[in-house]
A and B are shown apart, each in its own frame.
Chain A
Amino acid sequence: MAPMQKRAWWGLILGLVIAAALVAVFVIKGDVTRFDDDPGFRYIVYALWIGGLLVHIALMGLLRKPNQVDERDRAIMERASKTQVNALIIMLVVWSIALTEAYWSARAVPVVYLTIIFISSQVVNAVAQSLGIIIGYWRMERGG
C-alpha cells in the first residue's frame, strides 16, 4: 500500500470517528440551541473540530515527505479534489433544503445551525479528500 493511500485510510477513519463523535455529542445534548448556553457543550465541539482538523492537516500535509509523492499520487490527489467539491456542494444543498423544510412553519432557523454547517463542511471536506484518494488508488489498481 502506497504511503499516501495509507494516510488516506487513516484520514477517512479519523474523519468518520470525528463526525460520529460530533453527532453523538449533539444527540446526547438533545437540543442544538443549548450550544449557545452550555459552555461545556461548546468546548467539546470545538475540541473535536479543531483537534480533528489539526490531525487531518498533519496526516495529509505536514507529515508527507517530498520523496514519498510521485506523479501518480499527485494525479490521484488532483482527482480527489473533484470528490471534495461534489461532497461540499451536496452537503450545502442538503443542509439548506433540510433546514428550510424543518423550520418552514416557524419561519426562523436557530442561528447556531450556521456554525454547525461550517463545522460539518470541514469534516465533510476532510472525509471526502480521504475517500477521493482511496477511490483513486482503487480505480488505478483496477487498471483505470
Chain B
Amino acid sequence: MSISQKTAWIQLIIFAVLIVAWAALFAIKGTIYYWEDEGMKNIFYYLSAGAFAVLVGMNTTVTLATRGRTNLSDERDRTIFRKDSLWATGVSYTVVAGLMLATAIAFMSRGLASIPVYFPLFIVVVGGALLLLVQGLVAVILYERKVHHAGN
C-alpha cells in the first residue's frame, strides 16, 4: 500500500467518524441548530476542529517523514488525485449549493427574511468535511480498482 493510499484511508476514516459523530449529536439533541445550546455548540466545534487538526497533523507527519525521499508518487497516484479532487469538488459543491437553496426556500416559505448568523459557516464547514470525505472515499475506491486490475 503506497503512502497516498494509506493517507486516503486515514482521511476517509477521519471524516466518516466526524460525519457519524455530527449525525449522532444532532439525533441526540433533536436539532441541527447547534448554536441554540452552548454545550452542543462546543461539542460541534470541538469535533470539527479535532477532525481538521488530525488531518493537518497526518499531512504534516507524512511530509516530515518523507522529506528528501523521491519517487513517492507515480503517474497512477497523480491520476487518482486528479479524479478524486474532481469528484470531491463536484459532490461537495452540489451539496453546498443545494443546502443554501433549500435553506433559502425553507426560510422564505415560512415568511422569515433572515437566517441565524451561524448558518453560512455551518454550511461551509459541512461542505468542507464532505469534500474531504468524498476525496478519501473516491481515492480508496480507485486504488482498490487499480489493485484488482493489476492482480488480474
Contact = CB atoms under 8 A, between A and B. Distances in A.
Given A104-B117, A110-B114, A118-B100, A84 B89 contact: yes
A106 B117 contact: yes
Interface string B85-105: 110010001001100110110
Contacts of A28: none
B120 A113 contact: yes
A100 B127 contact: no
B86 to A, nearest CB: 6
User: Main SS of the interface on chain A?
Assistant: helix
B76 interface: no
A99 to B, nearest CB: 5
A90 B150 CA distance: 38
What class of interface size applies to chain B in its complex with A? 20 to 34
Interface residues of A, number: 31
A53 B48 CA distance: 35
B121 interface: yes
Given A78-B82, A96-B124, A118-B97, A108 B116 contact: yes
B86 A111 contact: no
Contact of A111 (B85, B93, B113): B113
B91 to A, nearest CB: 12
Contact of A36 (B86, B113, B115, B123): B113
Contacts of A115: 100-101, 104
B140 to A, nearest CB: 20
Interface of A: 33, 36, 78, 81-82, 84-85, 88-89, 92-93, 95-97, 99-100, 103-104, 106-115, 117-118, 121
- Which 8 A-B residue pairs are closest in the complex by CB-CB distance? A108-B114, A114-B104, A96-B120, A114-B100, A96-B124, A96-B121, A85-B89, A99-B120
